[in-house]
Amino acid sequence: MLCDFHLHTCFSGDSDTPPARQIEQAIALGMKQICVTDHHDYGVQTQCDFRLDLDAYFPAMERLRQQYRDQIRIEIGVELGLQCRVGAYLEELAGRYPFDFIIGSSHFIDGQDPYYPEYFQGRSEADAYRRFFESSLKRVQTLDCFDSYGHLDYVVRYGPTRNQNYSYEAYQDLIDPILKTLIEKGKGLECNTGGLRYGLGHPNPCEDILRRYRQLGGEILTIGSDAHSPEQVGYGFQTASRLLAACGFRYYTVFHRRKPEFLPLDA
């Protein structure tokens, strides 16, 4: 079973699952290693509090790491909401805590999360998508406080027609520079199976983007379910393994103390 490197617990504002339940589900699935990556989005106003209490999070996760050490390897991570205007804060935070792995994600664009319909009001779906990718490009060019870039086309989960009218080619002028920047900086790209769970028929990002990343020389690839509850842990991983192999990948990546380790997809 592939290792799940994108999991949420009740330390995230949008989950009520105790960390132990996520861990036990991963053990039941036969995973050898996981990384808990609870949300930390700083400096945003939203209906849900996405600020992570890191001073409570780390001691709790360390206790669980010791409790389950003979059954599974537990890495302590975070999903940072990237925003250039709080870049100094994010860089300092990434260096202050002993994270094993940091996902960098774009959740808020101009103060709005595409999860909510308000993001799409007053502009076409295509313009909303383009604005998302423009912001994402600026963030990966500017910030270095992460190890792998999360769910690159997250916005299509929530668009008015979702991915019905979406394609990599339509936004290639923005997506290619994102991929090239990640590669140049030694950052990874995440294959997030949440898109499969949302009924898109594709992960986030879609196969065309994953294939293009590989064509450009991208090698650091992390895999995560974006699970917020136990039944979502490892969702779609068998499908992901097959499609990633078809995109040219033979290995995927896990992290320990912010250093990449490569594992075969067919292990």
Per-residue confidence in pLDDT tens, the chain, 267 aa: 899 999 999 999 999 999 999 999 999 999 999 999 999 999 887 778 899 999 999 999 999 999 999 999 999 999 999 999 999 999 999 999 999 999 999 999 999 999 999 999 999 999 999 999 999 999 999 999 999 999 999 999 999 999 999 999 999 999 999 999 999 999 999 999 999 999 999 999 999 999 999 999 999 999 999 999 999 999 999 999 999 999 999 999 999 999 999 999 985
Q: pLDDT tens for residues 68-120?
A: 999 999 999 999 999 999 999 999 999 999 999 999 999 999 999 999 999 99
Backbone angles phi, psi at 71, to 5 degrees: -115, -30
Contacts of 236 (CB under 8 A, 6+ apart): 193, 196, 197, 203, 225
* Cβ-contact 216, 248 below 8 angstroms: no
Q: Give the SS3 label for residue 200.
A: coil
pLDDT of residue 267: 56
* Side-chain-facing half-sphere of 89: CA atoms under 13 Å: 11
pLDDT of residue 48: 81
Q: What is the DSSP letter of 258?
A: T
Nearest to 146 by CA among 103, 203, 96, 181: 103
- Domains of the chain listed by start with CATH number: 4-264 (3.20.20.140)
Q: pLDDT tens for residues 137-162?
A: 999 999 999 999 999 999 999 999 99
Kindly report whether the global pTM for this prediction surpasses the value 0.95.
yes
